[in-house]
Structure 1
Amino acid sequence: MHIHYNTNQTILPLELACVLPQNHVVFTIEKVINDLEERHFDAFYHTFGRPSYHPKLLLSALVFAYSQGVFSGRKIEKMMVENLAMQYLTGQLVVSYRTINRFRVAEGMEKLIRDLFIAFSLQLKMEELVTLDCLYSDGTKIEANANKYSFVWKKATDRFSAKLQEQIQTYFQEEINPLIHQAIELDSEESISSTQLLDFAHLLEEELADLNQAIEQTPTKGKDERKTKRRNLKKVLHKVRDDFSVRAEKYECYQELFKGRNSFSKTDTDASFMRMKEDHMMNGQLKPGYNLQIATENQFVLHYDVFPNPTDTRTLLPFLASYPHDVKRIVADAGYGSEENLLNLDEMGIEHLIKYGLFDKEQKRSYRQSTKNLDNWTYDAIEDSYTHPEGWRYLFHHVKHQKTSTGFEQEISVYQAQHPELAP
């Protein structure tokens, strides 16, 4: 005996909410998005054209599809036909994949997603699932959708740009100045911009036009030195306008794109080159990517941000600054434990459970017993000196000040051996 099964039986249409489990994620998505104020969707309302789909409908469909690991516009459209939960969200409307793709790249979408993220966090707070004042932060590197051989390095750009400036200085002195009536004096200490080179090209064009006019008005038989000069002017004009100015403009554009980074990808200028955790070739290959920082509490993601820095150290402070709530406590690994970060957290009154860089090393017995460990040296507070376990004395010499790439100033006390020729 089998359970009755008949696909040809006509049944009354039931409300889809009755078919889905009560704890289905689709109900949470619907509640959070419907609770958003209408002002968040003002950018998607238009007074012209045919009636559009409600932005809450499209946003709900996108969020549910993303939660199921579906990102393709065509597959999201297919879900609206085949997936009961998606049909419940959309009211059994089937939206074209073109409309879906236009909606998710529309102007104002980024702000809408951030507003939704904040609203979701507040909803968790109201349900007493999170406190919003304690963050567990960590980061991971995600590979960009860019050509891994499209790299541009800042050091190489600086070197090529400096070499170009040298070529320009030499070329102007040796080739251009002898050909024109107005001598051009270049400042050797300042770089010549692409705009200045185009101005020089315009000056050469005027000089060439005057020379052409003179040749036409007073033609001469036989060899004419003016024609030789005209050929040389055309050559240097081509060099300045089509070579020097183009390369200078390219390097200027590169410098604007670096934005404090050491590299970027030509096919995705926001991506920086960094080493990924998945290194299948085991050769430390650099790939274009992003450093994604995520803060969680009770397994809920409360904040996220993307940085071009390959290390986590320089991401902590700007990451906390972009967090929309007050932070009382933060937990992170040793990758965030720099002197700058720990001092700034103390100044902001934020409790932190972050290991400093040498913490794990200090737990090893070999390090605790090592003569390189400063704790094993004898310190004399009166003379401000350290004595090595084997007897060598190191006296205070001076305080060294150095500034990090973020502008943080460090004070380092430098000690010098009393007998440098004998000390190790």
Structure 2
Amino acid sequence: MARFICGADRHQVTLLPNRLDDYVSEDNPVRVVDLFVDELDLTALGFASMMPAATGRPGYHPATLLKLYLYGYVNQVTSSRRLEREAGRNVELMWLTGRLAPDFKTIADFRRDNGPAIQAASRQFVVLCRQLGLLAGGVVALDGSRFKAVNTRDRNFTPAAVRRRIEQIEASIARYLAALDTADRQEDEVAHVRKVRIAERLDALRTRMRELQAMESLVEAAPDRQISLTDPDARAMATRGKGTGMVGYNVQAVVDTEHHLIVAHEVTNVGHDRTQLAHMSRQGQVATGHEALSVLADRGYFSGEEIL
């Protein structure tokens, strides 16, 4: 190991600081998260479980879980399982939560059960930024980002997708019928076994055909003629590549151009941005407090009606 930078001996005894606070610098952003949450009125914002039950196993305080969630948001750690791992090995999170490490199910349930309250807390942060003069530019940028949903493409149905799958099943049925005719002209035992197997597959295909025909009626009756089974709010969205559409959401975000802070956002299930310009601009106007607001957007938002 000569001429290389050598690390410390793993068996060397050292005197580490006794306080966890000594590991977090004074200008660390995690201190902002801690101070911000401590100053919030979580009851007024609508967070659940603020009054714990007198019996049963004690739970985590909503402030602790909110700090954990916000830390993950700031550091792009969105998975509840990753947050669970980070809480057990990340010194900043140990300092933030007091060495508490909730399991991923607790984190996920908190995020699911307190969606409106988390949005209200986000609005309070925007108000704080406005009071500190961080949103004083009067110029914002608007754009949409597509996020993939849990719903797969096979569990999403549109009129074109249903027709395409019915055609595929009809072609498969025709092939199996031809194979069944061939097996009928053969008399050996192998042909008999093959004929039974083909007949079973034909029954499965006919059952699938009936399911698709029923789904076709449901799709035609749907308001936007689209149904997602796993995630009902998710919608199929076209992408630039041919045949590479995804099922997910279109997240609209209004960002202050000076400090790059998100001042307003909204999750939609519309695949394009043409109907979002006026609506999101008004949200940015309310969030920044500027009556005269300049909004920058790309040509995907071009719509004469929206501009008017």
Give yes or no for the alignment of 1:47 onto 2:61. Answer: no
What TM-score, normalized to structure 2?
0.68
Match of 2:116 in 1: 111
SS of corresponding position for 1:313: coil
Partner of 2:29: 25
Identity %: 22
More strand by share: 1
Change (3 A) 1:47 1:98: same
Of Structure 1 and Structure 2, which has the larger fraction of its residues in helix? 2
Shift of 1:26: 0.6
Q: Against the structure 1 CA distance between its residues 148 and 127, is the aligned structure 2 distance closer, same or farther, given a 3 Å change threshold?
A: same
Map residues 79-118 of structure 1 onto 2, 5 A cutoff: 79-106=86-113, 109-118=114-123
3-state SS of 1:267 partner? coil
Work out which of the residue numbers 293, 308, 321 in structure 1 matches 2:269.
308
Query: Could you tell me whether the CA contact under 8 Å between 2:143 and 2:297 is conserved in 1?
Result: yes
Aligned counterparts of 1:7 and 1:304: Cα–Cα separation in 2: 51
Query: C-alpha displacement at 1:10, in angstroms?
Result: 4.8
Equivalenced residue count is 246
| TM-score, normalised via structure 1 length | 0.51
* Residues 158, 219 of structure 2: 8 Å contact kept: no
1:131 aligns with 2:133: no
User: In structure 2, what is the Cα distance between the partners aligned to 1:250 and 1:74?
Assistant: 35
Q: CA deviation at 1:301?
A: 0.9
Equivalent in the alignment of 2:298: 333
2:38 maps to 34
Look up the match of 1:151: 156
Show the counterpart of 1:269.
232
Shift of residue 44 of structure 1? 2.2
- Which amino acid in 2 is paired with 1:84? V
Whole-angstrom distance in 2 between the partners of 1:10 and 1:89: 23
The gaps in structure 2 that reach 5 residues or longer are 1-5, 164-210
Residues 219 and 225 of structure 2 are in contact (CA less than 8 Å); yes or no, is this contact kept in structure 1? no
Q: Runs of 4+ in structure 1 displaced over 6 angstroms?
A: 2-6, 155-158, 246-249
**1:58 Cα deviation after fit:** 0.7
Distance in structure 2 (CA, Å) of the matches to 1:42 and 1:273: 33
Work out whether residues 155 and 262 of structure 1, in 8 Å CA contact, stay in contact via their aligned partners in 2: no
CA contact 2:277–2:307 (8 Å) conserved in 1: no
Determine the C-alpha separation between the residues in 2 that align with 1:313 and 1:28. 37
1:386-397 equivalent positions in 2, closer than 5 A: none
Q: Given that residues 162 and 212 in structure 2 are in contact (C-alpha distance below 8 angstroms), is that contact kept between their aligned partners in structure 1?
A: no
Taking a change above 3 Å as real, the CA distance of residues 101 and 139 of structure 1, as seen in their structure-2 partners, is: closer
Equivalent-residue separation in structure 1 for 2:138 and 2:18 (angstroms): 47
Q: Taking CA–CA contacts closer than 8 Å with sequence separation of 6 or more, which of the two structures ends up with the larger relative contact order? A: 2
Residue 291 of structure 1 and its aligned partner are, at CA, apart by: 1.7
**How far, CA to CA, are the matches of 1:41 and 1:266 in structure 2?**
30
**Contact 2:24-2:95 within 8 A present in 1 as well:** no
Question: Mapping of 1:361-376 within 5 angstroms?
Answer: none
Structure 1 gaps of 5+ residues are 159-245, 344-424
Give the SS at the match of 2:48.
Answer: helix
* Aligned: 1:76 with 2:77: no
1:334-358 residue CA offsets vs partner (Å, 9 max, x unmatched): 2223110111xxxxxxxxxxxxxxx
Which structure is larger by alpha-carbon Rg, 1 or 2?
1
The SS at the match of 2:254 is strand
- The residue correspondences of 1:314-325 to structure 2 (distance < 5 A) are 314-322=275-283, 324-325=286-287
CA distance in 2 between partners of 1:287 and 1:56 (Å): 36
Letter of the aligned partner of 2:298 in structure 1? D
Distance 1:311 1:100, change over 3 A: closer
Separation of aligned partners in 1, 2:226 and 2:88 = 45
- How far the C-alpha of 1:73 sits from its partner, in A, is 3.1
The code of the aligned residue for 2:53 comes to T
Q: 1:65 to 1:308 in 2, by over 3 A?
A: closer
